[in-house]
């Protein structure tokens, strides 16, 4: 784990506004491996203020229209294949909170979010939340991603939910700033285009130029290589829409895994 990030977390000051997280989740095995990624997630759970509830925006729940889980006990979804039995045996029995789902629907009424009673928590959510909050005693909602909407839709929807942070809700976006599984390099050497896209986007995020970040498709071949599909980048725009002007990003896990998956993660805190 990066020592600078650990030192920064040790100096974290209390705030009435809940932080924001974008977690580069990468390989589902990170949920159970003893590695730097998992250790950083454990540290977040130890150092961040305990949330009243968690809203997760995972790259792995794509829908037409936007939905939010509204059941009292969301199931743990093992939405992957070809991994050891130990990973399939993992459960994260965090409760839901139907009343908060209702409140979220009202808060964002112009976006017509619907309640969902069938989904649950996919690995984009539970694989990072289990190391953070292993007791599974914090209610968790998951918000779907309407893949048919423009980038601005996700950003504006997030803006309508800003009050959640003042109500003790931790919002976690789970995806990857670079995600091209077709080009994975098992030797571990990072592709130049992956490094370039990751660095370029990080600099834009640091500047606070949200519109430029949403215009990533205009970067030509670079964006096509970094994101053959956009699902793993879309959770970022919820984070950008939820942040406030007085908050600056703190980056951690600034590495490229398997050559083509950025694990760079972001924390916003007042």
Task: Name the pTM for this structure.
Answer: 0.95
The angle subtended at Cα 72 by Cα 67 and Cα 77, nearest 5°, is 65
Q: Tell me: the pLDDT tens digits for 57-97? A: 999 999 999 999 999 999 999 998 889 999 999 999 999 99
Q: Which domains does the chain carry? A: 3-268 (3.40.830.10)
For β-strands 249-252 and 256-257, DSSP reports them as unpaired
Strands (E), 45-199: 53-63, 67-69, 114-116, 140-146, 169-175
Q: Tell me: the pLDDT tens digits for 169-208? A: 999 999 999 999 999 888 879 999 999 999 999 999 999 9
Q: Distance between CA atoms of 56 and 166, rounded to whole angstroms?
A: 16
Q: Distance between CA atoms of 113 and 109, rounded to whole angstroms?
A: 7
């Amino acid at each position: 784990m990066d020592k600078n990030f650990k030192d920064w977390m040790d100096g974290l000051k209390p705030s009435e506004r809940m932080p924001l997280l974008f977690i580069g989740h990468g390989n589902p095995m990170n949920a159970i491996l003893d590695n730097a990624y998992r250790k950083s997630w454990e540290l977040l759970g130890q150092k961040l203020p305990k949330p009243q509830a968690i809203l997760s925006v995972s790259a792995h729940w794509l829908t037409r229209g936007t939905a939010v889980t509204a059941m009292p006990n969301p199931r743990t979804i093992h939405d992957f294949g070809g991994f050891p039995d130990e990973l399939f045996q993992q459960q994260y029995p965090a409760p839901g909170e139907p009343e908060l789902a209702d409140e979220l629907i009202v808060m964002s009424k112009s976006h017509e979010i619907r309640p969902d009673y069938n989904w649950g928590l996919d690995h984009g959510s539970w694989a990072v939340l289990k190391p953070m909050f292993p007791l599974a005693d914090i209610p968790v909602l998951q918000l779907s991603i309407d893949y048919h909407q423009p980038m601005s839709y996700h950003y504006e929807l997030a803006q309508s939910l800003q009050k959640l942070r003042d109500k003790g809700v931790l919002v976690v976006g789970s995806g990857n700033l670079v995600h091209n599984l077709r080009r994975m390099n098992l030797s571990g050497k990072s592709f130049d285009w992956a490094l370039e896209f990751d660095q370029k986007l990080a600099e834009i995020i640091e500047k606070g130029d949200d519109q430029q970040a949403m215009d990533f498709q205009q970067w030509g071949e670079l964006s096509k290589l970094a994101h053959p599909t956009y699902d793993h980048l879309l959770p970022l725009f919820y984070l950008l829409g939820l942040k406030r002007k007085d908050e600056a990003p703190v980056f951690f896990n600034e590495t490229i895994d398997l050559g083509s998956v950025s694990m760079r993660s972001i924390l916003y805190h007042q």
